[in-house]
Chain A
């Protein structure tokens, strides 16, 4: 399978008065064409920052190093204008805040037309609206919705409208940022099915699905990446990660799930004793050290950052327990 997105040692920091918050600190992963790539972790682990920075890197976020190659182009080096042009057309996002992603004083159709016109001047207003209505019908929204204001829509409807808008220009890569967290269980299920359908119809090629809820990923993701405190801890096939987690953090995450398919809330994650480290001044070694029950080589764990290595084909782990020489665990 061809790699659609290849990210290497990518760093995004937040600039604050007291210094830099190293929210994404050297992550490497790739997303294949035509797959759903899940990204999971506690809130504050950098997963949302990662997703947002890939498409719209805005102050106080600051690019601090690494590469992100999309379709052969390193977009981390793109100018504002180059980046502006590929947004929506090649890379798109369904934001976490879909509930207020649309200006309250503009009709849906005006928003859609204005946004599309910024990229494609040749499409007429009617063509744009027709396309929108067609997609609306596909997911059970009436065509009247285009004439409404976002404030007239229910939460679930807003979510669907945003999904249609974000995918209108058939982007290659779609970033879905916590799209299920604000919804009830049935709307969640519907959103996930919708995303599947959009993928089948080739409206989008690949999806980066960011969530704190691994049970949702189990339904939709082909592969899963687990993040902790700005670092990647583990990447693997969904089935492998869920049924046979290797990294101590992943293990704790999965074991805190009472039963597959039942949603666990963010609060449950606090079942793991301790707090994630302060990213203003992160520890020099493994960032999970403080809470880690394993600490295979305490000296090393505390002082050296474990590299992300391919432990088995397609299975990447960043833990001193799984690097060569320390291979005594399982």
Chain B
């Protein structure tokens, strides 16, 4: 039995690594990681510093052109990229951890605790996150990237909790857990030894999705003017471009690149997630 299980795991890994969606996703992701590492070496200006002719299209001097204030857009984009990763990591991480804890105990303990936690989760789920973010962010005097990430994480967990709970319920009913129960293992021990390892891949997938979701959330929030007050962000760049008529002026280099970065950053994460999904659920495989 054990050998066939091991083979099966290998099988999954095989499907995952040879999946073209994984390859494409990881390539795009690595490209952006590389861009954040190497990019800063080519920054010659501060994000909010007069750098050259206002509103000039991309050139060797300014790879992504300048905006009407003469700010170098390449510098802004690279700096904003760091903040974006941070939001994804913290926002996605916090949401995953909280959701994991609540979903786990809710699904594992069941009964009254489950009812209460799930009702709370479902209530938070129907309240639009953006509305909560707006009301919180608008009353904060100064907003740092970390603070905003935390808020995004704190409002994003209900999705995770629901998914993790469902997964826990299905794992709980499997044989090995009841075996541990018979042998008298405590709740924590069962969770740590039996359920958690089985859920690891699943949790990783959830984290990837939350990572992407947090990026989209901060972008939206920055766009409506509630982004970080202390640094430049991709959503903020887009807001500036719309507010200062980049559309009418036809400054495509101002409004197109940040959007492409966001879209492909998030899409690369979704691609990896899709490849994992297919590896674990053979029925979804499309190749």
**Separation of A18 and B15 alpha carbons in the complex (Å):** 12
The verdict on A1 contacting chain B, using a C-beta distance below 8 Å, is no
The chain A residue sitting closest to B4, CB to CB, is A278
Interfacial chain B residues near A18, Cβ < 8 Å: 11
Q: How many cross-chain pairs have Cβ atoms below 8 Å apart between A and B?
A: 4
The verdict on A17 contacting chain B, using a C-beta distance below 8 Å, is yes
Interfacial chain A residues near B14, Cβ < 8 Å: 17
B8 to chain A, nearest CB (A): 10
A274 to chain B, nearest CB (A): 15
**Separation of A17 and B279 alpha carbons in the complex (Å):** 12
Interfacial chain A residues near B11, Cβ < 8 Å: 17-18
Interfacial chain A residues near B15, Cβ < 8 Å: 17
A20 to chain B, nearest CB (A): 16
B13 to chain A, nearest CB (A): 12
Per-residue B-contact encoding for A1-30, CB less than 8 Å = 1, 0 else = 000000000000000011000000000000
Interfacial chain B residues near A17, Cβ < 8 Å: 11, 14-15
Interface set, chain A 4-60, CB cutoff 8 A to B: 17-18
**Separation of A262 and B11 alpha carbons in the complex (Å):** 42
Per-residue A-contact encoding for B7-26, CB less than 8 Å = 1, 0 else = 00001001100000000000
**Separation of A18 and B11 alpha carbons in the complex (Å):** 9
A54 to chain B, nearest CB (A): 24
**Separation of A17 and B14 alpha carbons in the complex (Å):** 10
**Separation of A78 and B11 alpha carbons in the complex (Å):** 35
Interface set, chain A 247-292, CB cutoff 8 A to B: none
The chain B residue sitting closest to A60, CB to CB, is B282
The chain A residue sitting closest to B7, CB to CB, is A18
**Separation of A145 and B115 alpha carbons in the complex (Å):** 35
B19 to chain A, nearest CB (A): 13
A230 to chain B, nearest CB (A): 18
**Separation of A17 and B15 alpha carbons in the complex (Å):** 10
The chain A residue sitting closest to B11, CB to CB, is A17
**Separation of A18 and B10 alpha carbons in the complex (Å):** 12
**Separation of A18 and B4 alpha carbons in the complex (Å):** 12
A21 to chain B, nearest CB (A): 13
B6 to chain A, nearest CB (A): 13
**Separation of A113 and B15 alpha carbons in the complex (Å):** 42
B284 to chain A, nearest CB (A): 15
A79 to chain B, nearest CB (A): 26
B172 to chain A, nearest CB (A): 22
B200 to chain A, nearest CB (A): 23
Interface set, chain B 50-97, CB cutoff 8 A to A: none
**Separation of A17 and B282 alpha carbons in the complex (Å):** 11
A169 to chain B, nearest CB (A): 31
Q: Which residues of B contact A (CB under 8 A)?
A: 11, 14-15
Can you report 4 residue pairs joining A to B where beta carbons are below 8 Å apart?
A17-B11, A17-B14, A17-B15, A18-B11
Per CB-CB distance, the 3 closest pairs between chain A and chain B, nearest first, are A17-B11, A17-B14, A18-B11
